[in-house]
Amino acid sequence: MSEQSFPPQQQQPPGRTDAMDPVPDHGETSYVGHDRLLGRRALITGGDSGIGRATAIAYAREGADVAFTHLPEEKDDAEATRVLIEEAGRTAVVIEADLRDSATCDRVVAETVDALGGLDILVNNAGFQMAREENLEDLTDERIERTITTNLIALFWMSRAAVPHLGPGSVIINNSSIQAFDPSTTLLDYASTKAAINNATVNLAAQLGPRGIRVNAVAPGPIWTPLQPATQTSEKVEKFGQETPLGRAGQPAEVAPAFVFLASERDASYVSGTVLGVTGGKPVF
């Protein structure tokens, strides 16, 4: 197929969905549920936009009630996601939270359990990257700390807080990346966290398996979300995704079904310790 290009554009982190050209497809008009998650209770970090929003829509249409977190700057995107969940006839719990401290992660889980009456699915999706610097010398202490804390340390804090509420048949799903397998030099810190997430996923699956809790990860390739214009140069945005065998970036709606599959006890009851690639053909091994 022909290569896809995007209009050059740039935002400031964390980025807004409605400012993107084109606006991403989260499955608003296309995703059809089949009761795969009926009655389940899910918590998605960073569920206001991008892959998080697409997963929230899919989970709600599959019958789950959904709590999700967002940053203070992401209120408009969070409201749009809330409406989509409620339009599917499910409960939406919207939690403003910056997950870079353990007390906040504990609070998020407690609020979710209180509002939904329990927890069955934890999706560690929230992430931060910045790809506008080329050299190691350009990595500031602040950027390194923000990337590692948001992407990796918060995953441990969230999982630690959630596990006491997860019973047999529950699941943790982590958002990894093609960067764990094919890292870009401009994403040294980000790619390192994603490789660590793969290791943590396999390790947690071994630890929690005897309790009947499955742990898996999804490794997206280049996906058109607000993270891209908010963290890439406009020149890179223009060619975003063209390096994949399919010659284009993916849409959030193309990643959400992987999160549904891994969350479904009906379809994935024997799947744990797996990293599932959704990469446009780029290898995850």
User: What domains sit in the chain, N to C, each tagged with a CATH number?
Assistant: 41-278 (3.40.50.720)
pLDDT for 130-163, tens place per residue?
Answer: 886 678 888 899 999 999 999 999 999 999 999 9
CA distance linking residue 226 with residue 253, whole number of Å = 14
270 is catalytic: no
Interatomic CA distance for residues 24 and 54, integer angstroms:
10
pLDDT of residue 252: 98
Residue 232 pLDDT:
85
Below-70 pLDDT ranges, the chain: 1-3, 132-133
Q: What is the pLDDT of residue 1?
A: 43
What pLDDT does 2 receive?
Answer: 53
Out of 31, 59, 190, 270, pick the active-site residue. Answer: 190
Q: Specify the pLDDT at position 5.
A: 86
Residues 57, 63, 65, CA angle at the centre, nearest 5°?
70
Which pLDDT tens digit goes with each residue over 190-207? 999 999 999 999 999 999
